[in-house]
Structure 1
């Protein structure tokens, strides 16, 4: 089917996302119920576990780091270069990949924001980075919210007093949760940028042509 061919990448990635979130839900459910049993507490059914701070904190913690990585990557590649990388613009021709959108204002096939001009076009010009940054902020807020809920549930199991959202936000535990993921995202992106200088994957738009010299920049 043409629809599957044209949208296969998105369908495959969303499929893997659903499968891995499902696996995370089932294994997390088992882990959490084992922890509850150790403290003599009642077990949670799968639905209630899916709504718990334990699961949602872990879920949004990972989403937060991914959206941080992608938003930072989109923005940094607009202004910084790495010669030879398929992931970078050519530093000798930094503006060659994007003409002035104002020149396409009368193009019937251009997005509506380009044709509208003004503030709409200005915002649309940076909408990918803005959208990813908003998703990062939302995931960060939800991570804080459910991480605090999970921390308080654990505190109650140990007979300790719960903490406020602000106290949790400023705690070393919360920032340990976040920074352990953030560092891996920045490192993995840096590795991709550097490896794409020297290594190839034929057929991928993230790779330079196999015969391209190492000094060639961009895919």
Structure 2
């Protein structure tokens, strides 16, 4: 593979996107099968692909996970600004100044908000965390919508009165779905931060150099 090719220059993003799509497709079909099995047990008509795609079951399961991922990344970006972890490849230096803390200087190759300055630069300086915050909020709302829709579908099948959305907001099911994912994401990041103190992966930018001392922060 030529090092100047589009695929080589974007191979990490391409592979991650392909893996995400494959897993999402797998989730869709396994979820479709699972939901229809439950409907058969309840004597309800089966869903087709289009109906399942719009169902609370699929929407809730998808955005419940996306929500936790975007929350994790937003907080990780923000927390690593001021917090440190001695010896971790994921931490800024304990004593030395970092390039990311320098005042941005306009130059011909700088992104246009840097060259423009003013409010554009102020927003751009925090655009990464803002993007994750917006994605988290959208996913949180869609997760709530899917979970709410799925809960009311179950209630209607059982002949019970459906809930109003503001009543469901205080229901334990929705928060159980969120918190079980949030804690797993924070555990995953904690594991990366702490394990990178002592463990190495040669060639990975997420690892310290193999011969670097455990207590040294890159």
1:176 aligns to what? 176
Query: What SS is found at the alignment partner of 2:63?
Result: helix
Query: What SS is found at the alignment partner of 1:41?
Result: coil
Pairwise CA distance, 1:99: 1.7
**Measured at CA, do residues 140 and 94 of structure 1 come closer, stay the same or move farther in structure 2, by a change above 3 Å?**
farther
2:136 aligns to what? 136
1:109 aligns to what? 109
TM-score, scaled to structure 2: 0.96
Partner residue of 1:12 out of 15, 29, 34: 15
Alignment partners' CA distance in 2, 1:137 and 1:32: 27
TM-score, scaled to structure 1: 0.95
Partner residue of 1:44 out of 39, 43, 47: 47
Q: How does 1:92-171 map to 2 (within 5 A)?
A: 92-101=95-104, 104-105=105-106, 107-171=107-171
- CA RMSD, aligned part only? 1.0
Alignment partners' CA distance in 2, 1:98 and 1:108: 20
Alignment partners' CA distance in 2, 1:97 and 1:215: 22
1:89 aligns to what? 92
Deviations 1:46-78 (A, max 9, x none): 121011110011100000000000001000001
Alignment partners' CA distance in 1, 2:97 and 2:157: 57
1:24 aligns to what? 27
1:71 aligns to what? 74
Alignment partners' CA distance in 1, 2:97 and 2:207: 19
Pairwise CA distance, 1:98: 3.2
Pairwise CA distance, 1:94: 4.6
Alignment partners' CA distance in 1, 2:64 and 2:203: 33
Alignment partners' CA distance in 2, 1:50 and 1:38: 21
Is 1:57 the counterpart of 2:65? The answer is no
Query: Runs of 5+ in structure 1 lacking a partner?
Result: none
Pairwise CA distance, 1:97: 4.0
Alignment partners' CA distance in 2, 1:143 and 1:73: 21
Alignment partners' CA distance in 2, 1:90 and 1:127: 23
Pairwise CA distance, 1:164: 1.0
User: Hey, which bits of structure 1, 4+ residues long, moved more than 3 A?
Assistant: 94-98
Query: Runs of 5+ in structure 2 lacking a partner?
Result: none
